[in-house]
């Protein structure tokens, strides 16, 4: 036998019962926690970052951003922004640098109810959280392996699923309720369905500025009454004020203006697409993404100095053979990580879209593409890995099964983020000496019991059986196993965190299109 | 529609025919090449590395390595190694540091025949190559989705498959020929089957030192005649001289002694398994792995000063719930990357086992586990990512389909390694200005044509179709698509790089158990 075979220790004993007693299967992991810092992967050199920064300042000063609305001009022209000969809004270098100097470097998003305090997110430095988002128009049907239009019930179902998945820290509107076409009904029903289903912090997108005020009414009701939301915001606001290359999009620009005024956090999600709406060279797309993102940071800070804004440069990739958007590639993983590094260069809170596989199904492509984009963005130190859970098909669809799989992936990645604690205890020089000189298996050593819970994440879904056992058990793949978890949770966990009294009041006041029957077992 | 939907540019035109003309489907990628340097991910701080180094020196000085053979003692005791009271071979700190100071920091492994020169590997600094290895006892049957005993024909088949996969740079004995139980027959037949099937550089493992001399005869015949192998070695030697914790294994120690004497490169593959044959805390396993690996580096350098030795600390993980070896986890990705960082700390050529999924099938688990271990080890700057292609089931089996999938993964990871080139050209400030002010799509811009081949890797197997197209085409997953590639190559590519005259001579001289019929289409 070769050394390769010899080296695998399988089922060797020593204290197995003691270890089993320590480990109970579904306990929350003690080896990871939300907000473990990344930042140990640095794709760009210091010189590269300085040059990208310089290019972005040139773009903001010379090229500027097109289609500014009068309301915006009234706010920012008196404070030093300028209009160039093309009618584009420009930002002199000194102005951009001044605004960067005063920009907030942190914010909190609070959890509600029984999660308050312990599940709050503190977005700053290189602390990493996993966040849902996506507003996908289709949902994956695992039974038929095909995509169907997403519904309001899906929003409730995705959220109550995530309510039970420990490693996804932030709720997001992963899908669009295509069965609720009217804008106001949609946005209020979306907010209701999500806040009813989980008390985790959330990032939500709205179709128009008019929906923010009624949404805050709903947030207040969820948080304990009038004025409670603004005291401890549990929601931040997604939506991109930029249409690449370098133009404003009206609706989300208006939302940015309103949230900045109210001191609320905007997650910009600026999406230039290399080779299509930004240059084919990755450096050029990065420079444009930085310029576009900084334009929003400057605007928010001109409106309300020090208001937290997320450096949400989300550069995307095009398959230049076809011109199609593609979410899963080495280029995507690399440029997302580099964008995060630029945000950390500015000491701004960051987010990035990642885990954007092009695969339509949770297969090996799905795993390869997701893990590569997750891992590099996390190790670059993204505060929020967005589009995280369940997204498939180049962001066109969301899947319950994938959500469960991604939750497992998040646990693995968090463990790598935590790194290796080096101390006299962990270096174990004396334990090594004793076990080497007087041969004893480490499995039975008291040190192993002491460290087994704090040093290791134990997966719930990853197969670690012997090959024979796996074959005899029906040769299931991870996708099949994830279906069981989805069924378990969705058939039993029907929360309504508003409670029945508040629920009645909400349903009287707002057009909530989610029927009560969707919120209980059939 | 939300901004998420708007932002995806799909099938927008502009110069599509020109782009199609530039891109022909199976051309080798111009965006990646072998040996792109890693090193931008650093899991350990400088202080951590110094402490681990110090712990390793203490272990080597005090605990030492058990079961030294008399032949070894005769070689190293006169040069400063010592025996402690337990009869263990110890290395004073100054001796270890002296040997590290003179240890080789680089070596070449040469390709043969038409690949000579252009496919040579230069293992040094943080240059990254993908290398097969594994000696798995079973091979995955894609038809039945089960594992069967590996055969000599599998060795030939795996090697001719890899001969056609651009991103796997080094051959290795991925499987054991279980149908050739006799040691000499096995090793000579293994060498023959691999060298006949590809002229890429190789890393091979032998069962006993007696096989090295006849193997070199075969290497000479493959390289152009007597003495040619030693002039430009095309093979390095795998095999672990250490049985953790801190004991010598006789056969591979003897091979290390012989290869060191001949100036050939040994790839040690030192495999302590956290919680089983080394401490449960990752830092302790790392300290032990470094000590065990350095003991071999010191021995080789005492025997032949400056002989290249690979810093091949391959720490493994145990699932402490069961005591089983587990290859796919966050802990595994992390500790492998940290081991590589230690090798780079010593400025030694490195290798690491990675891509070691516990999954039995190319599914989402496979993808997640492989990409995470690949990506972190590559970005830590491993000269060789070993156990790379095709390995599944915690290294118990190898799969043709996975080999093909892993080749695609290697392309993605190489692209991330290459990073982002920042220059006036790539920053594209003027192109951005022109496309923003006078709206024109970047797809039609001459710059896009100029960069589309050098900036992007185009996958052959990753699905990037529209969802509808994918559904209509039969909803295939990556595993199914990979089967087609395997069938295409294995049904048509039957190389015998020895040529028929030399083949006859070899078959007269050595017990080659691979029938000629296995080397041509049925």
Shortest Cα distance, chain A CAs vs residue B355, angstroms: 11
Question: Which contiguous run of DSSP H or E holds residue B57?
Answer: helix B46-58
What the block records as the tokens of B63 is: 């605990």
Statement: residue B13 has pLDDT above 60: no
Test mutation, B145, B368, B374, chain A, max A CBs within 10 A: B368
Q: Which of B66, B58, B57 is nearest to B96 (CA)?
A: B57
User: Under a CB-based contact definition with an 8 Å cutoff, are residues B349 and B312 in contact?
Assistant: no
A334/B419 CB distance under 8 A: yes
User: Under a CB-based contact definition with an 8 Å cutoff, are residues B161 and B404 in contact?
Assistant: yes
B326/A372 CB distance under 8 A: no
B286/A420 CB distance under 8 A: yes
Q: Which of A105, A146, A41, A137 is nearest to A416 (CA)?
A: A41
Tens digit of each residue's pLDDT (9 = 90 or more) over A481-512: 999 999 999 999 999 999 999 999 999 999 99
Query: Among all residues of chain B, which has the CA nearest to that of A25?
Result: B321
Shortest Cα distance, chain A CAs vs residue B311, angstroms: 17
Shortest Cα distance, chain A CAs vs residue B431, angstroms: 7
User: Under a CB-based contact definition with an 8 Å cutoff, are residues B160 and B495 in contact?
Assistant: yes
DSSP single-letter state for residue A516? G
Q: Which residues of A touch B48 (CB under 8 A)?
A: 420, 422
What the block records as the tokens of A59 is: 């773009």
Statement: residue B23 has pLDDT above 60: no
- The whole-angstrom separation of Cα B305 and Cα B297 is 10
pLDDT at residue B18, as a whole number:
66
* Cβ neighbours of A342 (radius 10 Å): 25
Tens digit of each residue's pLDDT (9 = 90 or more) over B38-68: 999 999 999 999 999 999 999 999 999 999 9
Shortest Cα distance, chain B CAs vs residue A191, angstroms: 15
Average model confidence (pLDDT) across chain B: 94
A451/B427 CB distance under 8 A: no
Q: Which of A308, A191, A288 is nearest to A243 (CA)?
A: A288
DSSP single-letter state for residue A25? T
Q: Which residues of A touch B4 (CB under 8 A)?
A: 133-136, 205, 269, 395
B281/A421 CB distance under 8 A: yes
* Cβ neighbours of B508 (radius 10 Å): 8
pLDDT at residue B440, as a whole number:
75
Statement: residue A244 has pLDDT above 80: yes
Statement: residue A8 has pLDDT above 90: no
pLDDT at residue A441, as a whole number:
83
Statement: residue A241 has pLDDT above 80: yes
Statement: residue A10 has pLDDT above 80: no
A281/B425 CB distance under 8 A: yes
pLDDT at residue A2, as a whole number:
38
Statement: residue A151 has pLDDT above 80: yes
CA distances from A127 to A40, A111, A267, A351 (A): 12, 17, 16, 11
B457/A331 CB distance under 8 A: yes
Q: Which residues of B touch A42 (CB under 8 A)?
A: 40
pLDDT at residue A456, as a whole number:
97
pLDDT at residue B19, as a whole number:
65
Q: Which domains are delineated in chain B? A: 31-419+459-522 (3.20.20.480)
Q: Which member of A317, A320, A422 has the closest CB to residue B51? A: A422
User: Under a CB-based contact definition with an 8 Å cutoff, are residues A301 and A265 in contact?
Assistant: no
DSSP E strands in B371-482: the ranges are 384-386, 391-392, 397-398
Average model confidence (pLDDT) across chain A: 94
User: Under a CB-based contact definition with an 8 Å cutoff, are residues B173 and B152 in contact?
Assistant: no
- The whole-angstrom separation of Cα B8 and Cα B29 is 26
Question: Which contiguous run of DSSP H or E holds residue A49?
Answer: helix A46-58
Q: Which member of B334, B442, B475 has the closest CB to residue A276? A: B442
Cβ pairs A/B, distance under 8 A: 555
Test mutation, B367, B424, B441, chain A, max A CBs within 10 A: B367
B135/A4 CB distance under 8 A: yes
Strands B324-326 and B316-319: antiparallel
Question: Rounded mean pLDDT of B474-493?
Answer: 97
B279/A431 CB distance under 8 A: yes
Statement: residue A286 has pLDDT above 60: yes
Burial class (CB in 10 A: 0-12, 13-18, 19+), B1: exposed
Shortest Cα distance, chain B CAs vs residue A515, angstroms: 24
Candidate from A18-22, A100-104, A146-150, B328-332 with smallest mean pLDDT: A18-22
Question: Rounded mean pLDDT of A45-62?
Answer: 98
Query: Among all residues of chain B, which has the CA nearest to that of A1?
Result: B207
B363/A479 CB distance under 8 A: yes
- The whole-angstrom separation of Cα A186 and Cα A205 is 11
Q: Which residues of B touch A463 (CB under 8 A)?
A: 358-360, 365
Question: Which contiguous run of DSSP H or E holds residue B417?
Answer: helix B400-418
Tens digit of each residue's pLDDT (9 = 90 or more) over B152-186: 999 999 999 999 999 999 999 999 999 999 999 99
- The whole-angstrom separation of Cα B440 and Cα B334 is 45
Q: Which of A180, A296, A160, A155 is nearest to A238 (CA)?
A: A296
- DSSP state letters, B131-200: B----BSEEEETTTTEEEE--HHHHHHHHHHHTT-TT--BEE--B--TT--SHHHHHHHHHHHHHHH--S
Question: Rounded mean pLDDT of B374-383?
Answer: 98
Statement: residue B9 has pLDDT above 50: no
What the block records as the tokens of A147 is: 């995509």
- DSSP state letters, A119-135: T-EEEETTB-EEB----
- The whole-angstrom separation of Cα A361 and Cα B364 is 9
User: Under a CB-based contact definition with an 8 Å cutoff, are residues A43 and A135 in contact?
Assistant: no
A394/B3 CB distance under 8 A: no
| Residue A66: strand pairing partners | A247
Taking the CA atoms of chain B, what radius of gyration do you get in angstroms? 24
- DSSP state letters, B303-369: HSTT--EEB-B--EEEETTTTEEE--SHHHHHHHHHHHHHHHHTT--BEEE------SSSBHHHHHH
User: Under a CB-based contact definition with an 8 Å cutoff, are residues B266 and B259 in contact?
Assistant: yes
A239/B3 CB distance under 8 A: yes
User: Under a CB-based contact definition with an 8 Å cutoff, are residues A59 and A66 in contact?
Assistant: no
Query: Among all residues of chain A, which has the CA nearest to that of B247?
Result: A436
Strands A235-238 and A266-267: parallel
pLDDT at residue A21, as a whole number:
62
Residue A484 CB contacts under 8 Å (≥ 6 apart), including other chains: none
- DSSP state letters, B406-475: HHHHHHHHHHHHH----SHHHH-HHHHHHHHHTT--GGGSHHHHHHHHHH----SSS--S-HHHHHHTT-
Q: Which member of B318, B329, B435 has the closest CB to residue A245? A: B435
Give me the interface pTM, i.e. the ipTM. 0.95
B319/A411 CB distance under 8 A: no
Query: Among all residues of chain A, which has the CA nearest to that of B453?
Result: A320
DSSP single-letter state for residue B59? I
- The whole-angstrom separation of Cα A69 and Cα B265 is 68
Q: Which member of B5, B239, B405 has the closest CB to residue A364? A: B405
Tens digit of each residue's pLDDT (9 = 90 or more) over A174-214: 999 999 999 999 999 999 999 999 999 999 999 999 999 99
The verdict on pTM exceeding 0.80 is yes
Question: Rounded mean pLDDT of A73-87?
Answer: 98
Place of tokens 């691999």: B194
Q: Which member of A51, A271, A368 has the closest CB to residue B370? A: A368
B477/A363 CB distance under 8 A: yes
Q: Chain-centre distance of CA B339, in angstroms?
A: 15
pLDDT at residue A13, as a whole number:
46
Q: Which member of A282, A364, A397 has the closest CB to residue B479? A: A364
Q: Per 3-state DSSP, what percentage of chain A is helix, strand, and coil (rounded to 5)? A: 45, 15, 40
A275/B462 CB distance under 8 A: no
What the block records as the tokens of A458 is: 């134990």
């Amino acid at each position: 036998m070769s050394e390769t075979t010899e080296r695998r220790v399988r089922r060797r004993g020593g204290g197995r019962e003691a270890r089993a007693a320590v480990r109970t299967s579904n306990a929350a992991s003690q080896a990871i926690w939300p907000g473990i810092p990344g930042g140990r992967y640095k794709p760009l050199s210091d010189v590269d970052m300085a040059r990208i920064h310089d290019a972005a300042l040139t773009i903001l000063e010379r090229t500027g951003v097109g289609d500014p609305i009068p309301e915006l001009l009234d706010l920012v022209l008196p404070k030093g922004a300028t209009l160039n000969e093309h009618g584009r809004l420009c930002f002199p270098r000194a102005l951009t640098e001044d605004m960067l100097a005063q920009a907030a470097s942190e914010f909190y998003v609070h959890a509600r109810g029984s999660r308050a305090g312990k599940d709050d997110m503190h977005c700053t430095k290189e602390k990493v959280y996993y966040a849902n988002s996506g507003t996908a128009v289709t949902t994956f049907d695992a039974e038929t392996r095909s995509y169907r239009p997403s519904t309001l019930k899906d929003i409730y179902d995705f959220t109550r699923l995530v309510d039970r998945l420990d490693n996804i820290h932030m709720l997001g509107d992963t899908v669009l309720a295509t069965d609720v076409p009217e804008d106001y009904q949609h946005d209020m029903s979306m907010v209701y369905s999500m806040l009813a289903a989980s008390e985790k912090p959330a990032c939500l997108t709205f179709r128009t500025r008019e929906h923010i005020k009624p949404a805050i009414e709903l947030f207040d009701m969820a948080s304990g009454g009038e004025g409670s939301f603004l005291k401890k915001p549990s929601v931040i606001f997604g939506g991109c004020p930029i249409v690449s290359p370098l133009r404003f999009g009206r609706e989300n620009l208006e939302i940015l203006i309103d949230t900045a005024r109210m001191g609320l956090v905007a997650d910009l999600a600026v999406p230039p697409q290399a080779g299509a709406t930004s240059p084919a060279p990755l450096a050029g797309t990065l420079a444009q993404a930085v310029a576009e993102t900084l334009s929003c940071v400057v605007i928010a800070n001109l409106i309300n100095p020090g208001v937290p804004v997320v450096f949400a440069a989300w550069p995307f990739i095009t398959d230049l053979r076809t011109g199609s958007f593609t979410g899963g590639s080495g280029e995507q993983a690399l440029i997302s990580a580099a964008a995060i590094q630029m945000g950390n260069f500015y000491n701004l809170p960051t987010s990035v879209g990642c885990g954007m596989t092009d695969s339509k199904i949770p297969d090996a492509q799905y795993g390869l593409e997701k893990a590569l984009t997750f891992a590099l963005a996390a190790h670059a130190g993204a505060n929020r890995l967005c589009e995280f859970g369940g997204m498939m098909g180049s962001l066109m669809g969301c899947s319950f099964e994938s959500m469960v799989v991604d939750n497992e992936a998040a646990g693995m990645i968090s463990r790598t983020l935590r790194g290796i604690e080096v101390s006299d205890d962990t270096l174990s020089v004396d334990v090594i000496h004793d076990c080497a000189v007087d041969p004893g298996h480490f499995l039975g050593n008291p040190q192993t019991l002491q460290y087994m819970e704090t040093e290791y994440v134990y997966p719930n879904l990853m197969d670690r059986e012997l090959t024979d056992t796996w074959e005899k058990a029906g040769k299931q793949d991870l996708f099949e196993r994830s279906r069981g978890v989805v069924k378990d949770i969705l058939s039993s966990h029907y929360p309504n965190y508003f409670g029945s009294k508040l629920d009645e009041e909400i349903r009287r006041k707002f057009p909530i299109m989610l029927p009560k029957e969707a919120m209980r077992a059939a």
